Amino acid sequence: MTWHILGAGSLGSLWAARLASAGRPVRLILRDRARISAYEEAGGLTLVEQGRAQQHAIPAELPSGSGPISRLLLACKAYDAEAAVQPLLQRLAPGAELILLQNGLGSQDAVAKRLPHARCVLASSTEGAFREADFRVVFAGHGFTWLGDPLQPAAPAWLEELDQAGIPHGWTPDILSRLWRKLALNCAINPLTVLHDCRNGGLAEHPAEVGVLCAELAELLERCGQPDAAEGLHDEVLRVIHATAANYSSMYQDVAHGRRTEISYLLGHACATAARHRLSLPHLQGLHERLKAHLQQRGLPVT
């Protein structure tokens, strides 16, 4: 079965190159004719791994292309996900399966609502990749991708294809817990690195601020039925700050490069969920306001 991959960005290219190398049929879906022309001019997709570049001539098509889609990897940013699936609705075959690679929470529900007849498999990935140039992606860090479907605990048969393609992954019946935990780690670290203009390790100088955020995030996770995601959160945040001390967080890098952040699907989602549960989390809400003001000052979207 063909893997349709929407978004030839960092993670989409990483998956596309590995699946194609393993001999699986892959087709990229690019946003418009201009992107298709740029892709053809580049001669395909280049993945750089350990300094070695390899080009993959994977066919690309428009969202409005012909032919049914039975398996779709949605590899765009969270804020693009819902609009990106819209032009594909007519092409989805009965029983189509989607793998949603978006970070944070909120976009997955928005996509699933548009596709009541498709199966949506959610992913939470710690793999690292970045775009060095258009259609040229560098594999930056080994990681792992958790996959799961909150509505259907049985693992799909195509996981075997990920094994063959060397994509490290695991199937979990509790993907929402993993996504919430990652969201909480992100909320405790990333916005503060932006506001304090520091690497992750710089947060070791702000222990009280980190501590109070972790306490509020744990309260939120408990309240919204994710007690496992709350357990040991503060300790893990401190471990991550220490272990990744020299790194700049993804949100820091987005802001530094003038790119839109996924704030609405991380801190924004946490605050909206707290409000829905009538939970007052003043430090988390204060952080959200400060971050939005910071983004606005830099002319970046606050959603």
Which residues are designated catalytic? 182
Q: Does residue 16 belong to the site contacting ligand NAP (CB under 6 A)? A: no
Place of tokens 């007519």: 90
Q: Please give the Cα distance from 186 to 268 (Å, whole number).
A: 12
Residue closer to ligand NAP (CB basis): 267 or 281: 267
- Minimum CB–partner distance for residue 101 and ligand NAP (Å): 5
Residue closer to ligand NAP (CB basis): 255 or 281: 255
What are 105's two structure tokens? 């929470």
Residue closer to ligand NAP (CB basis): 102 or 249: 102
The interface mask with ligand NAP, positions 33-52, x = CB under 6 A, is: --x-----------------
Q: Which long-range contacts (CB under 8 A, 24 or more apart) does 196-203 make?
A: 199/245, 199/246, 199/247, 199/248, 199/252, 200/240, 200/241, 200/244, 200/245, 200/246, 200/247, 200/248, 200/249, 201/241, 201/242, 201/244, 201/245, 201/246, 203/241
Residue closer to ligand NAP (CB basis): 134 or 235: 134
Q: Which of helix, strand or coil describes residue 27?
A: strand
Q: Does residue 9 belong to the site contacting ligand NAP (CB under 6 A)? A: yes
Q: Which of 3, 4, 5, 6 binds ligand NAP (CB under 6 A)?
A: 6
What are 112's two structure tokens? 């699933």
**Which 68-127 residues touch ligand NAP, going by CB under 6 A?**
75-78, 80, 83-84, 101-103, 125, 127
What are 291's two structure tokens? 């971050």
Q: Considering only 6-14, 53-61, 204-212, 291-299, which stretch makes contact with ligand NAP by CB under 6 A?
A: 6-14
> Phi/psi at 240 (nearest 5 deg)?
-65, -40
User: How far from 100 is each of 147, 160, 166, 235, 245, CA to CA, in Å?
Assistant: 9, 18, 19, 29, 29
Amino acid at the residue 235: D
Q: Does residue 190 belong to the site contacting ligand NAP (CB under 6 A)? A: no
Place of tokens 């919430």: 180
Q: Does residue 283 belong to the site contacting ligand NAP (CB under 6 A)? A: no
The interface mask with ligand NAP, positions 50-79, x = CB under 6 A, is: -------------x-----------xxxx-
Q: Does residue 4 belong to the site contacting ligand NAP (CB under 6 A)? A: no
Using Cβ positions, the residue closest to ligand NAP within the complex turns out to be 9
- Minimum CB–partner distance for residue 225 and ligand NAP (Å): 23
Specify whether the CB–CB gap between 170 and 146 falls below 8 A. Answer: yes
Q: Does residue 175 belong to the site contacting ligand NAP (CB under 6 A)? A: no
Amino acid at the residue 129: A
Q: Does residue 129 belong to the site contacting ligand NAP (CB under 6 A)? A: yes
Contacting positions for ligand NAP (CB under 6 A)? 6-12, 29-31, 35, 63, 75-78, 80, 83-84, 101-103, 125, 127-129, 131, 262
